[in-house]
A and B are shown apart, each in its own frame.
Chain A
């Protein structure tokens, strides 16, 4: 259990500043996510913490100890990889025991800890199997058990779920979070999937072009994005001039689609705007309704499935929203 301090860390590849003067503190026991599009520097930053990528400048500390000059195998890190990286020449047991052997844990004790770790990821009884006999989800559980069993100071996850199918991703992310919380190990998780990031994280650092765009709890970044990039990356939004919404201030605002409702169902006191429906998309639990305002600005609305609403493209409607749900962007 350790806090992680990243101070003024930079790294360039040629002329590209992959990680650009990043400062971060991850609290002890926190589940922290680096989120961003591909090429934003999140993986480079994670690999710097792991020791697979050198820093041009800055430093990284685990608690009091500076680790960025330490060679990777001395950093006491458990890492889970995108493609599992389960050793194909070893059994499941051999994989999980690998780090314990490196730490010279006596065989009896190691065997006990391996069984415990396999039970923790619901793979009890799979110890004798070879990796090629396991499914993708099971391989990722082996990889997680292998990283947990050494009781590392820090757990690193490099897009661990991106090779799994959608259903499995959803259940695995809940498991990963539950495991991390029960063991209390500080974790850094890399993903490009904002929904996954919101689901697992205590806090998220949103990255763009090597820099931190915004750092905070998931709800805060979602509801109060600090920039256009943050507003758009965290989910669908309407980025419009406030004047188009009938407000006086000449600023850009972000208004989430689910903050809009039809005027007849909205409380009094909400801002109302006239619009023409252009497209209706029924997605099951929610229905997306695209429309345009009088001045041509497109506006997107999302409603929970509402069977009583019978609408067609071209219908003139009145929409409403609570001005408190607007986020003013710089």
Chain B
């Protein structure tokens, strides 16, 4: 008998092959090089663990590991403690303006966290506005730099990662669970503790894990706020780009340790969640609880306070960008001078940001949607492999991937450094997991028999994908494009390693202004980034609402 690939398998196998090829070249190969660099001696000839022993032998880098994990753990714990009650209040308590709270709460997810960090410096830093005002009346708030400030910014910017899935989970608990618990003699409080919380626990943990990984990988926030405190992602960057000679081996060690930590955390979470998955399909959303007016007021204040506090830094940046700076010193006059300086110098960075974000959003969609389709529809070894590889970028910090790119594509058969393509490729690889996840979630909602109907009517699997699957996924694809676009527009960690010459982006301009102390330009760049981020999201929101109504 002729050995042939069955017809049904051809399209998914072709997609999987292309996906694996792309991720093999632009993810696995660079990572292998980073890993390799950390395991080679100074001549690059023989295999050695010397780099690891050297790095781990130095108290400075041991401190970097402890600081990073400690700050991550603290931020995760605080975020969770704040977000879970908030989620419960939004899901089950009579809070006025819930829709507005939820919309505002999602905003920190798309706004760049280092902008928030910079705003905190301008407000609460050594010569910050609030600091100065308080000093006038004799209050010293101490330094915002270091672990405290970093944890504060992480909490303000990352809490939606816990909040949003937990709200959904609280709403998905069927009311009969609670009624059963109470029918068996539990008080409402005990029912929440013994029945509801265990059911929503997986959602809380999944969100908390995202927060923890974000803190491990984040480069911008510690870069702005750490001062002398050593932090993983920043030190890897400094070792690689550093003032002294670039040191790929040492940077590789930090990068490898960072990846291993993230992967370890992911595996622990998987292990833990595997035995705790509950199907909770609420036929109707659980009812809003009746509470007294005092408790209601308290809960309302709590919700609004968290959501608004998280947005204060962004609001402050926008206001400050319209005030007059002389050097780092702020004067109270309204002025467009910051924007004039920013854009009279060069419009190129803004154009770059818009172009890169558009190109990356296109690439991510073209790769993520078919891959998400294949990993959802086909159960096979290849599909599983593709799923794992396509999720991997999630565990790789932007700094690390960028170092891998430089090591891999600086010489040899493919030279990409110095051009714009390397930035687009790095963004694409970084955002693919999100596109795959969201595409996969939509494909789950599409009945496979629709595709079979189309095929039996004479359309090939590829035509069926284009004519039936893609149109049905359109709303979700569009959201994915916009989310990719805005997160790429404010990407910092890979950009600062990979940009060159004329290919600076708005984030780089802001980054350089931070280093050079040009507060006026930095705030103007930050404001521009906020606008560039919020306009597409607002447009999408309107478009999707019309789509739902129509």
Contact = CB atoms under 8 A, between A and B. Distances in A.
A82, A89, A147 pick with most chain B CB within 10 angstroms: A89
A323 to B, nearest CB: 49
A113 to B, nearest CB: 13
A73 B449 contact: no
Interface of B: 4, 6-8, 447, 449-450, 452-461, 463-464, 468, 471-472
Contact of A77 (B454, B456, B461, B463): B456
Nearest to B6: A54
A83 B448 CA distance: 10
B457 A102 contact: yes
Contact of B447 (A72, A74, A85): A85
Highest count of chain A CB atoms <10 Å: which of B453, B457, B461: B457
A272 interface: no
A102 B8 contact: no
Contacts of A52: 8, 452, 455
Given A50-B456, A87-B450, A98-B457, 19 more contacts: A52-B455, A72-B455, A72-B456, A73-B458, A75-B456, A76-B458, A77-B456, A79-B456, A81-B449, A81-B452, A82-B449, A83-B449, A85-B449, A85-B450, A85-B452, A87-B468, A88-B472, A99-B458, A147-B457
B7 A72 contact: yes
A71 interface: yes
Contacts of B8: 51-52, 54, 71-72
Nearest to A149: B457
14 contacts: A52-B452, A72-B456, A73-B457, A73-B458, A74-B458, A83-B447, A85-B452, A87-B450, A87-B453, A89-B471, A89-B472, A99-B457, A146-B457, A147-B457
B201 to A, nearest CB: 34
A85 B461 CA distance: 16
A143 B452 CA distance: 13
A79 B464 CA distance: 16
A257 interface: no
A79 B453 CA distance: 7
Given A77-B456, A85-B452, A150-B458, A71 B7 contact: yes
A71 B453 contact: no
A36 interface: no
Contacts of B457: 73, 78, 98-99, 102, 146-147, 150
A103 interface: yes
Given A72-B7, A72-B8, A85 B458 contact: no
Interface in A42-99: 50-52, 54, 69-79, 81-83, 85-89, 98-99
Interface residues of A, number: 32
Contacts of B461: 71, 73
B458 A102 contact: yes
Q: Which of A88, A102, A103 has the most CB of B within 10 A?
A: A102
Interface string A158-192: 00000000000000000000000000000000000
A257 to B, nearest CB: 38
A84 B8 CA distance: 22
A87 B450 CA distance: 6
Nearest to B2: A69
A103 B456 CA distance: 12
A14 B545 CA distance: 46
A73 B460 contact: yes
Interface string A243-282: 0000000000000000000000000000000000000000
A81 B449 CA distance: 7
Contacts of A54: 6, 8
A70 B7 CA distance: 8
A103 B464 CA distance: 14
B458 A103 contact: yes
Contact of B452 (A50, A88, A146): A50
Contact of B7 (A51, A78, A79, A99): A51
B7 to A, nearest CB: 3
Contacts of B471: 89
Contacts of B455: 51-52, 72-73
Interface in A269-314: none
Contact of A78 (B456, B459, B464, B472): B456
A81 B457 CA distance: 12
Contacts of B453: 79, 81, 85-87, 143, 146
B454 A98 contact: yes
Contacts of A82: 449
Contacts of A78: 456-457
Contacts of B449: 81-83, 85
A96 B367 CA distance: 32
Contacts of A89: 468, 471-472
